[in-house]
Structure 1
């Protein structure tokens, strides 16, 4: 199901934006290149949010322990392991939709 999450002009490159869709907290990130990604705002390793992590390229660095997480597929990079749920993003004009 496609749900309106935000507008593109409300996103700041490299800064996360929290939305709650169907009781799920989702962190939306826009890279410096303008690519938009949506991940569950929950790190299974720290049991904390990823929203305030630093974005570099197509990765976000989890704010508590600095785990490197792919914005593309949600995989926590070596030497650590884990996976964060990702959501497909659909951009229509200025509207950002998330498939949940």
Structure 2
């Protein structure tokens, strides 16, 4: 079971930036693209566990700050030739507020 949780106003997440949501099961990075799409991923890179929320957001990807692995914000998969993936979480924006579907 999961629950939609209000995270923050969309304007609190910078374009091409992120915020971290701390949960009992680990940190989730919430990312905003240049065109105001919002995505949520496990905040740990599948390579060496780098904090994805500290990476560079471009297009629909984030580059891990440790070794520049490119991770898709859409499905959490590493861009070839790298292999691996991180968990994705449902996120929505309603009336300017960002909500995250946090699994219980």
Shorter-chain TM-score bucket reads: over 0.9
Q: Note the C-alpha offset of 1:98.
A: 0.7
Aligned residues: 100
Q: Note the C-alpha offset of 1:65.
A: 0.4
Unaligned segments of structure 2, at least 5 residues: none
* Corresponding residue number in structure 1 for 2:65: 63
Counterpart Cα distance in 2 of 1:7 and 1:86: 20
Q: Note the C-alpha offset of 1:22.
A: 3.7
Runs of 4+ in 1 over 2 A off after TM superposition: 21-24
Pair 1:16-2:41 in alignment: no
Q: 2:56 aligns with which of 54, 57, 70?
A: 54
Unaligned segments of structure 1, at least 5 residues: none
Relative to the length of structure 2, the TM-score reads 0.90
Counterpart Cα distance in 2 of 1:70 and 1:6: 23
Counterpart Cα distance in 2 of 1:35 and 1:28: 10
Structure with the largest fraction of strand: 2
* Corresponding residue number in structure 1 for 2:76: 74
* Deviation digits for residues 51-94 of structure 1 (CA, Å, limit 9, x no counterpart): 11111100000110000110001001100000111101111112
Counterpart Cα distance in 1 of 2:36 and 2:85: 23
* Corresponding residue number in structure 2 for 1:93: 95
SS at match of 1:75: coil
Counterpart Cα distance in 2 of 1:23 and 1:85: 12
